[in-house]
Amino acid sequence: MEYAFPDCRVCSTGVLLPLSDYGREGASIQFKAWVCCNPDCGYNIRIDNGEVSHGRPLSQSTK
């Protein structure tokens, strides 16, 4: 199966890659976040507790 990922509208050179996570009760959350594959851009959009946020600085999790 082939996927076509959306172009990043911020840098126009990367594509947005989907990331998944697990909820508090362990349920899988598909496409919780989308991150630009261009390391110079780093644009991201994510869902946290039902709220959509974008453009937050990327950092490594301590978990």
Residue pLDDT, tens place only, 19-61:
888 877 888 888 889 999 999 998 999 888 788 888 777 666 6
Residue 53's pLDDT is what?
86
| Residue 10 pLDDT > 90 | yes
Residue 32's pLDDT is what?
87
Distance CA 43, CA 56 (A): 8
pTM: 0.73
Distance CA 7, CA 41 (A): 12
Closest alpha carbon to 35 in 62, 11, 51: 11
- Are the beta carbons of 18 and 29 closer than 8 angstroms? no
Residue 15's pLDDT is what?
96
